[in-house]
Amino acid sequence: MPTKRRRESGSGEFIIRRKGLLPKPISITFPTEEEGDVYCKRAEESLDRGVVPQALLNNETPILTFPEAVPA
């Protein structure tokens, strides 16, 4: 479960930690908390399977539209 912090600007910062898979904690900022929750849920599911998304290693946040981010 990522750590969440709300910033003064209204954006949300999420910190993902996973010993043994990630070399260091990853901090990602999203415009809204909802977007961060969706992204982090997918990232956590991958990490649970032992797969580290390349975007986490490069500390890149993919640009998604809301319909792409929310599973149907």
How much is the pLDDT for 26? 85
Is residue 40 in some structural domain? yes
DSSP classification of residue 15 = E
Q: What is the CA radius of gyration of the chain?
A: 12
34 — pLDDT class (breaks 50, 70, 90): confident
Does residue 37 register a pLDDT over 70? yes
User: What is the predicted pLDDT for the residue at 21?
Assistant: 84
Is there a domain that residue 69 lies in?
A: no
67 assigned to some structural domain: no
Q: Give the number of domains in the chain.
A: 1
Instruction: For residues 26 and 2, give the distance between their C-alpha atoms in angstroms, rounded to a whole number.
Output: 10
Mean pLDDT to the nearest integer, 22-36: 85
46: in domain = yes
Once rounded to an integer, what is the mean pLDDT over residues 13-24? 86
Q: What is the mean pLDDT of residues 8-26?
A: 84
Residue at 68 is within a domain: no
